[in-house]
Structures are given as structure tokens and as C-alpha cells.
Chains A and B, each alone.
Chain A
Amino acid sequence: MLRAMLAVLVALIAPLTCAAEIGQVKISKGTVTIERAGQSMPASVGTRLQTADVVTTGNDGSVGITMTDDSLLSAGPNSVLALDRYDFDDVTSAGRFDTSLRKGTLAVVSGRLAKQSRDAMTVRTPSAVLGVRGTEFVVSAGNGR
């Protein structure tokens, strides 16, 4: 009985969580790379993102990302953006989203996570933490333009 219940539970949850995909690259111009588990790969349009990915743009680069909670992140040239933590429950909109802009420029439109709970989304810069309550803002750090 317990095993049957567990099987049903897994069957219900699996389609939502097994894909560790948290977002997708929608726009990619110039040099854009993703560092994942020590490897570097080009971040071309359509690339799926995972937690802990670090997205870097070159001199001529810019990138636009849509997360599964509908939030939008886009970075200009010479930027380093880390997707530190992402938990999102598609049914309840509960969870947590932490990103860091290590340098460069970033534009954000927050999504369902920030709407659901005021401390669910944060953006870190080298010296500050932004608590996102909604919805659209820009951040620059360091030598990015």
C-alpha cells in the first residue's frame, strides 16, 4: 500500500521536478557562455539553464533569460550573472530565487516567486542584497557599463 502511494506520488511529481531546468536562454548576442560544473559552454538561444549556472557575456555580448516562474533576466556586455539558488513550486508559486550580479549590467522583471512572497527573490551585488518586491528594475556592478 505504502509503495503504491509512493509510486503515485513520484508519478505526480516527476514530470515537474526531474527536469532540473529552471529557465531558458531566449536571446543571445555576441559572446555568451555558461559555466556549469567546471565546464564552459556557449549559451546559444534555446539553451536550458540549471541551478548554479554562471552566465557570462563578453565585450560584444548580451543575453536574455526566462525562468520557469516567468521572471526575466537580461544582462548587457561584460557581465557575470550567477543563478545561485532556484526552487519553484509551479502549483503554489512558493519557493526561492537567488541570483548574483558579480559585475556588469542586469535588467530584471520579477515573476511568480516574488509575487507570491516578498522575500522569495533576491539579487546580490558585490556589496549589497536587493530584496525584490516587484517588479522591474536594473542593477549595475563594477566595471560593466
Chain B
Amino acid sequence: MAAERLRIRCLLFALAAALCGCATHERIVLLPESGGGPTSLVVRQGAREVLLDRPYAAAELTIADPFRYDASAAEVQATFGEALAAQPARAAHYTLYFVEGSDDLTQDSKDALERMLAELARRPVRDIVIVGHTDAVGSDQYNDALAKKRADAVRALLVARGVAANDIVAIGRGKRELLIATPSGIAEPRNRRVEIVVR
């Protein structure tokens, strides 16, 4: 008799565990934004919607309605410590400028390139995209060639300093994407640039 009661109790316990545990158990926590800017997330479960719009705002999804609560840094670390520890370094963006009509870097940009190389050394795997641009002086054809030449020149500088050529993509966009909008034919130093993304 007692054994029977125990068996029923075990069965009920297992059923309860199955209902609350495995049905749905999901958690979402909004984190503080590193740059300090605004941040938000919408959680939609069927027709229900929960807005998380401040740091540590969290939602727990169960079989019933999404449950909104405030999480803590300690809770996030306990559950997500390993995922957060595996977060790659953020992409870094650089802009280097050129002497008019050439693929020679300005002196300031030569210094900036050195700083970029120092930063590159801290990344174990690199994925680098170099996009060359020109100002609005000259034809499309001339500027397409010049933009590509600038991107290739920076690529060669990086390769000469030990960055693997395979990690770098260099492309030119000519005068299509002026940083500073000018009429055609206007020399503008800030448009004579390469933009570099390091991921």
C-alpha cells in the first residue's frame, strides 16, 4: 500500500517536472550597451509581446505568459559566463588618407597605420576589408583605377608587415561614395581615403 502511494507520488512528480521543466524554459536578458547608447529587444511568443528596453530587463518564457523581471549581472554571469567569455573582439574601423592623385599615405595616416598594426597584432584571426575611395576630380574610369590602387597599396603595406595576404580583401569604389559631398571636379582631402574594417 505504502509502495503504491510512493509510486503514484513519483509519477506525479515526474509529470510536474516534465510540464514545467521541458515544455518551455527560455530566458532572455538585455545587457547594458557598451557604447552607452539606447538598446531594446522585442520578445514575441505567439500573439504575446514583451518589450525589453533597459539594461537587465529580462523575460522568462514558460508555458503560460512570458514573465517579465529584472535580472542581475551575477545571474547573467552564472548562466551565460561561458557564452560571454567566447565573445570575439569587436570589429575595428579605420580610415587612412592619401596625397592628391596618388596612392601615397599622408604623414598622419602613416602614423595611424602603425597604430592599426599594433592593434592587429592582438587579434588571433583576422578578416580585413580595405575599400578605396577618391575625391571627385577626374573621370569615373580614372577614379575607379585610383581607388583600387589605393586599396592595393595599403594591402601591400600590411602584407609587407607580416599580415597574411589571404586575410585581406582590397576593393575600389572610385568616387561613388564621397565622404564629403562635393560637386564634380572638387579636390577634397577627406574623400581621398581607404576605409578599413578589421574583424
A77 at the interface (CB under 8 A from B): yes
* Interface pair A62/B90, CB less than 8 Å apart: no
Chain A residues with a Cβ under 8 A of chain B = 15-16, 24-27, 29, 45-46, 62-66, 68, 70, 72, 74-77, 79, 90-91, 105-107, 109, 111, 125-143, 145
* Interface pair A142/B44, CB less than 8 Å apart: no
Interface centre among B35, B125, B171 (most CB of A within 10 A): B125
* Interface pair A140/B27, CB less than 8 Å apart: yes
Chain B residues with a Cβ under 8 A of chain A = 22, 24-35, 37-45, 52, 61, 66, 76, 79-91, 124-125, 127, 129, 169, 171, 173, 177, 197, 199
**Known: A24-B127, A70-B90, A109-B87. Is A76-B82 also a contact (CB below 8 A)?**
yes
Number of A-B contacts defined by CB within 8 Å: 151
B30 partner residues in chain A, CB cutoff 8 A? 136-137
B188 to chain A, nearest CB (A): 20
The secondary-structure label for the interface of chain A is strand
B129 partner residues in chain A, CB cutoff 8 A? 90
* Interface pair B66/A128, CB less than 8 Å apart: yes
B120 to chain A, nearest CB (A): 14
* Interface pair A76/B124, CB less than 8 Å apart: no
**Cα separation A74 to B84 with both chains bound (whole Å):** 7
Which of these, A26, A76, A133, contacts B41 with CB under 8 Å?
Answer: A133
A126 partner residues in chain B, CB cutoff 8 A? 24, 26
* Interface pair A137/B28, CB less than 8 Å apart: yes
A65 to chain B, nearest CB (A): 7
Which of these, A132, A134, A141, A145, contacts B38 with CB under 8 Å?
Answer: A134
* Interface pair B24/A75, CB less than 8 Å apart: no
* Interface pair B83/A138, CB less than 8 Å apart: yes
In the complex formed, the residue of A with least CB distance to B71 is: A138
A31 to chain B, nearest CB (A): 13
